[in-house]
Amino acid sequence: MLQLQVMNSPFNEEQTELLNRLLPTLTETQSLWLSGYLAAVQSSTLQAAPAVEERPAPASVPSIPKEVTILFGSQTGNAQNLAKKAGKSLEEKGFQVIVSSMSDFKPNNLKKVKNLLIVVSTHGEGDPPDNALTFHEFVHGKRAPKLEDFRFSVLALGDSSYEFFCQTGKDFDKRLEELGGTRITPRVDCDLDFDEPAAQWVEAVLSGLSEGASSSQSPSTASVSAAAPAESVYSRSNPFRAEILENINLNGRGSNKETRHLEISLEGSGLTYQPGDSLGVYPENDPELVDLLLAEMNWDPEEAVRVKEETVTLKEALTSHFEITVLTKPLVEKAAKLSGNEELHQLASDSAQMKSYIDGRDLIDLVRDFKPWNSTAQEFIAILRKMPARLYSISSSFEANPDEVHLTIGAVRYDAHGRERKGVCSILCAERLQPGDTLPVFIQHNENFKPPENPDTPIIMVGPGTGIAPFRSFMQEREESGAEGKSWLFFGDQHFVTDFLYQTEWQRWLKDGVLSKMDVAFSRDGDEKVYVQHRMQENSREVFEWLEQGAAVYICGDEKHMAHDVHNTLIDIIEKEGGMSREQAGEYLADMQKNKRYQRDVY
């Protein structure tokens, strides 16, 4: 960023300070006008004045573009929410900001952008989120333009327990530099606890964009900002303590599964939601697991420790504040510094060995396998990751259930490395949570999984198992609003008798016409396993007819298997029934996705 310096300058210190405050605030038009004005004055002066020693013309001072574009790629809504917050912070400092989903941004406009901020999550095994796919492909393709006089910065969201941590953000950061861009501030990679590093990134971006400009804020801007109303005082960083009203097992006796239906009160919170949104829940660790960890480390449960600005007992810290059921690469590397065990040091320096070890293991395994530990309890908890919130698709309509929110949660239990393992939040709900108890919760708005704005638009919903949750919300909302668009549900699970979640509700909606059509697949009831994608294949002609009529398709559930198979099945159907090539069918589905007619809530 160009600034005038007092040394070797014809200006005194006060003049230099005034110029350094003025010049960066000028628009391109103002800069050109000023350059012409000074040239005219100089020309006039030279004509009237006696000859003097010629001096080189001063270098033109480039203006700082005040326009900033923020593009987000978001699957669950986190990146979108952070992008909007960043946009507000920049607007309060006088910048002109455009905040847009990558899917809504015309890639060819990239060459017109001078200041670009990318906020993007990484999905699955290092993949871009659905609404970032097209832009990601464009930027990494041959049609991407050379970027001149272009500045950028990337905020990457991810989960360090995955191998390709923040990979999409890293990809964008590297590619934008290759295309000629200059970083406003270095990329920041955020783990699940992203609020603080994201805020620091925004501050660094503001500093980079405002370098040399006045940092003062006009009184009018400050007053407008302070007066902006908030939807609710409760949020991710300030969750609401919500009371449990009902906790019911949806599966019948003899089922291999346990699916909990929770009804939770939001009364007094001011929290509202729409179909497609999620509820964030901050769980507590299993007391048995906490006691095992305390015993292994020979720690005093009542020892006072500091957690940020708060003093709590060690047992409370391990129960409520920190994650102890997942091992990540950063955690193992930090733990090695607290251990005198040479094998742990070797593990921490071998990526392949580390990847194999952390799979399916937790903190109990680590402290048992690599003794001795040369640290205090305070030093040890300092390396632990903050307890992350769990996001669950909301299975109710706020319009149909004012001041309530419903969840559909499958209990997670499995064996690994000689021990039974349990899902932190799902088993809290299944085994320890009773009506009258409370949970810290917040609403996670997700604009990337929403019913069509036009209530007459046909919808196809694919949601096996707990993937049924948001579609129960969709149906409650459509029933409440009287929407008349056709609707078709594909649901699957293991057994018809024990695992048909919300069976009576779906049958009532079919009878009343709220739901137009339903196809089910119960994989363990026959000699051959039948899944939702098989039912879609059986109805391929009608599915394609619905697509041609403008139907929107929604998928919720497991990404690795179900969502991947359903995606390929849709391409199969489009290819076959539309008489298209495989490539054309893929483009057809990609176009649906671009137009928000193909949305996924997958995990």
* pLDDT under 50: residue ranges of the chain: 1-2, 4-9, 29, 33, 36-37, 39-62, 212-230
Residues 269 and 401 reside in one and the same domain: yes
On whether residue 355 sits in a domain, the answer given is yes
The backbone torsions φ and ψ at residue 45, rounded to the nearest 5 degrees and listed phi first, read -65, -40
The confidence score (pLDDT) of residue 52 equals: 39
Final residue in a domain of this structure, among 326, 357, 381: 381
Residues 156 and 293 reside in one and the same domain: no
Nearest-CA neighbor of 406 among 191, 262, 270? 262
The confidence score (pLDDT) of residue 23 equals: 64
Q: How far apart are CA 178 and CA 171, in angstroms?
A: 11
The confidence score (pLDDT) of residue 12 equals: 58
Residues 368 and 268 reside in one and the same domain: no
The confidence score (pLDDT) of residue 483 equals: 92
The confidence score (pLDDT) of residue 494 equals: 97
CATH of the domain at 142: 3.40.50.360
Residues 468 and 366 reside in one and the same domain: no
What angle, rounded to 10 degrees, do the helices at 564-577 and 540-548 form? 80
Residues 221 and 249 reside in one and the same domain: no
The confidence score (pLDDT) of residue 66 equals: 83
On whether residue 49 sits in a domain, the answer given is no
Final residue in a domain of this structure, among 227, 252, 270: 227
The confidence score (pLDDT) of residue 51 equals: 41
Going along 164-309, which residue ranges are E strands? 182-183, 188-190, 240-249, 259-265, 278-281, 304-307
The confidence score (pLDDT) of residue 219 equals: 30
CATH of the domain at 275: 2.40.30.10
- Could you list the residue range(s) of the whole structural domain that residue 269 is in? 240-283+388-444
Residues 525 and 407 reside in one and the same domain: no
Measuring CA to CA, how many Å separate 13 from each of 7, 329, 576? 9, 52, 76
Q: Provide the domain count of the chain.
A: 4
On whether residue 25 sits in a domain, the answer given is no
Quick check: 167 and 122 in contact, CB under 8 A? yes
Q: How far apart are CA 77 and CA 448, in angstroms?
A: 7
pTM of the model: 0.81
Measuring CA to CA, how many Å separate 238 from each of 158, 388, 417? 22, 14, 37
On whether residue 11 sits in a domain, the answer given is no
Residues 499 and 415 reside in one and the same domain: no
Nearest-CA neighbor of 263 among 412, 437, 508? 437
Residues 464 and 563 reside in one and the same domain: yes
On whether residue 558 sits in a domain, the answer given is yes
Residues 266 and 395 reside in one and the same domain: yes
Single-letter residue type at 186: P
Quick check: 394 and 407 in contact, CB under 8 A? yes
On whether residue 17 sits in a domain, the answer given is no
Quick check: 338 and 383 in contact, CB under 8 A? yes
Residues 403 and 278 reside in one and the same domain: yes
* DSSP classification of residue 260: E
The confidence score (pLDDT) of residue 143 equals: 87
